[in-house]
Amino acid sequence: PSVLDSFALLSGQLNTLNKVLKHEKTPLLRNQVIIPLVLSPDRDEEIMRQTEGRVPVFSHEVVPDHLRTKPDPEVEEQEKQLITDAARISPDVAQKQIQSLNKMCSNLLEKISKEERESESGGLRQNKQTFNPADTNALVAAVAFGKGLSNRRPPGSGGSVQSGQPGAGGIIAGASGMQQVPMSGAPAQQQPMLAGVQMTQAGQPGKI
């Protein structure tokens, strides 16, 4: 209830203030002059907070700059010179200069947009995928595990493939050789071979 009472009081005061400001007899605030009443060379933390650290003090040195409503005299002289130079130019010459400036700006915008398009297309080319992940996975599975390879040997290859013989027979033989077979002349307790590599017992080094 206390919060609601305070809110109702503030709302009523704001409505009253708005009515006063909107009244036709109230002068416009933009026509009023701000006069500094208190100037101090000491550091003011409240001003620091309101100005986000830009104005540490509100002294005689900074007041003319921060409460200035007109530009510097040098800037006023430059503006007067520019206005005088502009008044001397005829409308036709001014129109030609405007067209020339617009042409230069349009050419510059075209160059900028072209550079942006080229950079975007270059980035797309760099990010474009140059391989098929499914084919890569199938190839890796075929080489590592023999997945998808046929067990049939080509005619004339016999029961074994000679070492160094080129062709697909070596691949098929290598793929089919991934079954566990005992080594000839080895005792029965010896570990089986997996793809030509002897499985090591615990505590014994392996042999190729």
The structural domain count of the chain equals 1
pLDDT at 23: 86
Measured in degrees and rounded to the nearest 5, phi and psi for residue 58 equal -115, 80
**104 part of a folded domain:** yes
**77 part of a folded domain:** yes
Residue 204's pLDDT band (cuts 50, 70, 90)? low
Q: Are 109 and 138 in contact (CB under 8 A)?
A: no
Q: Quick check: pTM over 0.75? A: no
- CA dihedral (87, 91, 95, 97) in degrees, to 10, reads -40
Range of the domain at 92: 72-120
**144 part of a folded domain:** no
Average pLDDT, the chain: 76
For the cut 80, the answer to whether the pLDDT of residue 87 exceeds it is yes
**87 part of a folded domain:** yes
Write the CB contacts of 40 (distance below 8 Å, at least 6 apart in sequence). Answer: 57, 58, 59
Query: Where do the DSSP E strands lie in 13-140?
Result: none
Q: What is the DSSP string of 89-110?
A: S-HHHHHHHHHHHHHHHHHHHH
pLDDT at 157: 54
Q: Which of residues 11 and 181 earns the better pLDDT score?
A: 11
CA–CA gap between residue 121 and residue 110 (Å, rounded): 16
pLDDT at 31: 80
134-185 pLDDT, tens digit each: 888 888 888 888 887 777 666 665 544 444 444 444 444 444 445 444 444 4
CA distances from 67 to 64, 70, 143 (A): 5, 9, 81
155-168 pLDDT, tens digit each: 665 544 444 444 44
pLDDT at 197: 45
**103 part of a folded domain:** yes
